[in-house]
Structure 1
Amino acid sequence: MLKVLKPGFFTSIQDNGRYGYRNKGVPISGAMDSRALNMVNSLLENPVNAAALEITMTGPTLIFEEETYVSLSGGVISATLNNEPIENYKVYKVEKGDIISYGRLESGFRGYLAVKGGFSLKKTLGSSSQYFPLTAKRCISEKDEIPFEPTLNFVPKISELKIDSYLTEKQLQVSRGPEYTILNDKQLEALFSKGFTVAKENNRMAYQVSEFIEGHSIPMLTSATLPGTIQLTPAGKLIILMKDGQTTGGYPRILQLTEEAVCVLAQKKSGDSINLKLN
C-alpha cells in the first residue's frame, strides 16, 4: 500500500487511457505524456498499461507500507527517497516505511512515478485513469491509500536510461485537420511563421495560447475531435484539446498534433513558448 501524506498540486492516477467509448462521450484520458509513462513502465518491466502517478508541477509526499521498486520519469521535479536525492529514469528499491517527497520544479511540467507491477486498482471502462465524474475523484487526496503488490526481489534488465531531453523542445509537429482548407494566407502565416505562448488556461482538458490569429465566420456542425486537435474559434483563439478533452466540438478543426507533440505540449506551463511545424 502507498499512503499519501501530501497530495501535491494535482496528482492523479493514469494509465494509457480508455478506448472504445468516445461514441458515448467518454474521453480517452490517460497519461498526458504517454512517452514518459511508457518509458517508466518499461524500466520496471511492467505491463504496457500499468497505472502510475501523474504529478503536475508540485509533487506529493508518499510513504510506502510495503517493499517494492520504483522509477520516475517525465518532467524533472526534485525528489528524494528518505531525504536522499533520486533521479528520473533509474530504478530504486524502497523498503517498508520509506518516504518519497518532492520539491522544486526544475524542468518540464508533469512527472510520473511508477511502482513495480503497477498499482492494483479497479478499472472503469477498461482503465484505471482518474476522470471525474466517471471515477469517484479527479486526483488523489491526503490520506488516500493506493494499493500495489509488494515486490521483494527484482533485478531489472536495464536499471537506468539515458534519453535525449524533450522537455525544452518548443516545436510541435502538426498535420492538416479536416477544416484546414478554410484558412487563408494571412492565417497560415500567423500559424507557422510566428511562435505562441502557453496561456494560463491549460489543464488536462485543453491548452490555449495567449496570441490570437485572424478569426472566421464559418458555421459548422459539431464534429468528432481527438487529443491534439487544434480548434479555431470565430474570435481567432486557438484551443488545443488534450487527454481529458471533449469528444466533439463545434469549431473548425484546423490542425492535429502528433502523439509525440502532445507529449511535448504536456510538459509546457503558462508562459512557455511553442511553435507549430506542418508535417
Structure 2
Amino acid sequence: MVKVLSPGFYSTIQDLGRTGFQEFGVPYSGVMDVYSATLANLILGNHANDAVIEMTMTGAKLQFSCSTYICVSGADMSPQLNGVPIHLNKSMKVSAEDVLSFGKLNKGFRCYLAVSGGFKTEEVMRSRSMYKDVTDLNKLSKNNELKTNINDLYLNDNNSLVKVKNKHFSTKDIEVFKGPEFHLLSTKQQKLLLQNEFTISKENNRMGYQLSELLENNLEPIITSPVLPGTVQLTPSGKLIILMRDCQTTGGYPRVFQLKESSINVLAQKFTGKTIHFKLNSQY
C-alpha cells in the first residue's frame, strides 16, 4: 500500500489507456508520455501497461507501507527517498515507512512513478486510467491509499541506470502527418504552419494544448468527424488546438495535422511559453 501524503499539483493513476470504447464517446486517456512511463515499467520488469502515477509540474509525497521496488522516470522533479536524492530511470528498493518526495522541477513537465507489479487501483473498461465520470476518482488527493502487490518481489540490486536522450525534452520539432483537411488550406497557410514556430499557451492540459499564435482561417467547419490524440484542429478564430490523451472522440473543426505518437510524448513534456515547430514527416 502507498499512502498519498500530498498529491502535488495534479497527479493521477494512468496506464496505456482505454481502447475499444471510443464509439461510445469514451476518451482513450492513458499516460501523456508513453515513452517515459513505459521505460519506468520495463526497468522494473513490469508489463508496459501496468498502472503508474503521473505527476504534472510538481511531484507528490508518498509513504510506503511495505517493501517493494520503484522507478522514477520522465521529468526531473528532484526525487528524494527519505530526504536523500535518488536517480531517475533506475530500480530502487524501498522499505515500509519510507517516504518518497519531490522538489524543484529541473527538466520536463510530467514525471512517472512505477512500482513492482503496478498500482492495483480501480479498473474500468479494461483500464485503470483515471478520468472524470468514468472512474470514481479523477485525480489523487491527500490520504488516498493505493494498492500494490503484497507479495515480496525480488529484483537484483545494481547501480546501473538507463540514460534518456536529452532531445526528448529539448527538441522543438513536432513531427506530423498531413491531416484530412490539410489540402483545403492555401499554399500560404501550409507554409506558415510549417515554417513558423508556435508557442504553447496557458490553456494546456490532458485534453489539449492550445497554441498562442493565430493562423488566418476561412475554412468552413466540417461535418463532425473522428479525432484522436495528436489531431491538430484549426478553429474558426484561427487558433490551433493539439488534442491530447483525454480528448473527445469527435470534432467539427478542420484537422490539419496528425502528430506521430513519439511527438505526443515530446509535447507532453512541454508547458506554457515553450515553442514548437511542426515538421512534416519525411514520407511527404
TM over 0.5: yes
Q: Deviations over 1:173-199 (max 9, x none)?
A: 000111111111221121111101100
Q: Distance in 1 between matches of 2:36 and 2:159?
A: 16
**Residue in 1 aligned with 2:154?**
153
Moved more, 64-73 or 146-155: 146-155
Q: Deviations over 1:57-95 (max 9, x none)?
A: 011110000100000111111110000001210111000
**Residue in 1 aligned with 2:216?**
214
Which of 174, 186, 189 aligns to 2:188? It is 186
- For the pair 1:276 / 2:281, whether they are aligned, the reply is no
Which aligned pairs between 1:1-279 and structure 2 lie closer than 5 A?
A: 1-150=1-150, 151-155=152-156, 159-165=160-166, 166-279=168-281
**CA distance 1:66–1:126, change in 2 (3 Å):** same
**CA distance 1:276–1:98, change in 2 (3 Å):** same
Q: Distance in 2 between matches of 1:147 and 1:57?
A: 24
Q: Distance in 2 between matches of 1:188 and 1:156?
A: 53
**CA distance 1:106–1:121, change in 2 (3 Å):** same
Report how far residue 169 of structure 1 moved: 1.3
Q: The residue matched to 1:135 in structure 2 has which SS? A: coil
Q: Distance in 1 between matches of 2:272 and 2:243?
A: 16
Q: Distance in 1 between matches of 2:95 and 2:228?
A: 41
Q: The residue matched to 1:37 in structure 2 has which SS? A: helix
CA RMSD of aligned residues (A): 1.2
- Which residues of structure 1 form unaligned runs of 5+? none
User: May I ask how many residue pairs the two structures share in their alignment?
Assistant: 279
Report how far residue 109 of structure 1 moved: 0.3
Q: Is the 8 A contact 2:116 2:153 kept in 1?
A: no
Q: Distance in 2 between matches of 1:235 and 1:189?
A: 19
- Which residues of structure 2 form unaligned runs of 5+? none
Q: Distance in 2 between matches of 1:129 and 1:152?
A: 24
Report how far residue 219 of structure 1 moved: 3.0
Report how far residue 152 of structure 1 moved: 4.9
AA of the residue aligned to 1:263: N
Report how far residue 56 of structure 1 moved: 0.2
Calculate percent identity across the aligned residue pairs: 46
AA of the residue aligned to 1:5: L
Q: Report the TM-score when normalising by structure 1.
A: 0.97
